[in-house]
Amino acid sequence: MAVLSTIRSLFSSAIPIENETIVPAPLTSYAVKPLTEKHAKEVLKLNLRCFRNGENYTKHTFNYLFTEPNILSYQAIAEDGQMAGFVFVILNKDGTAHLTTIGVAPEHRRRGVAGSMLGHVEAALIVKGISTIVLEVRVQNVTAQTLYTRFGYSTVKRITKYYADGEDCYLMVKSLV
């Protein structure tokens, strides 16, 4: 879990950004592709739009994630080339994986983008022989909990004051076998 604790130490507190008016994007298809260091600026910007109230991944967090060898990262790209979503997963030495973050641009939400990235991640993990994927989610983030439950994750425990602002999390797990 050294990777995870390093990531947590690189969080910054919530960065206030201006409220934006969300206009749904034109209908488009999405392709899930690897996310690499050359997309660092774009993913940082999208991350700030996705996570307004909690710990934000900073430039340093992403730099760290992009240079760690045991990390899978994908982006969902709309037909116009815009990054619509991102996901990062840590591969642990014990044969499990840890979904550290997933976000979808507000104008592309509720179109199956997160589901499609989760499906992509799972297929890649199965090829690598990973049997279990775990994640933490804020107790107040019912949207994300609904997504994970819909994709077969179960809540196994509540961890008190997991986040820096004192909010608890649910630990959710999915078996890939």
Q: How many CB atoms lie within 10 A of CB 24?
A: 11
CB 13 within 8 A of CB 55: yes
Residue 87 or 125: which CB sits closer to ligand COA?
A: 87
**Smallest distance from ligand COA to CB 172, Å:** 9
Q: Which is nearer to ligand COA, 47 or 91 (CB)?
A: 47
Give the residue with the Cβ less far from ligand COA, 73 or 103.
Answer: 103
Instruction: Provide the minimum distance between the beta carbon of 109 and ligand COA in the complex, in angstroms, as a whole number.
Output: 3
On whether the CB atoms of residues 71 and 89 are closer than 8 A, the answer is yes
Closer to ligand COA by Cβ: residue 16 or 69: 16
What does the alpha-carbon distance between residue 104 and residue 99 come to, in Å, rounded to a whole number?
Answer: 15
* Minimum CB distance to ligand COA smaller for 49 or for 92: 49
Nearest-approach distance from CB 39 to ligand COA, in angstroms: 17
CB of 137 to ligand COA, least distance (A): 4
Sign of the CA dihedral running 134, 135, 140, 145: negative
Return the structure tokens found at 139: 């107790």
Residue pair 169/156 in contact (Cβ under 8 Å)? The answer is no
Which amino acid appears at position 136 of this protein? E
C-beta of 51: minimal distance to ligand COA in Å? 6
Residue 119 in 3-state DSSP? helix
Binding site for ligand COA (CB under 6 A): 50-51, 102-104, 109-115, 137, 141, 143-144, 146-147, 150
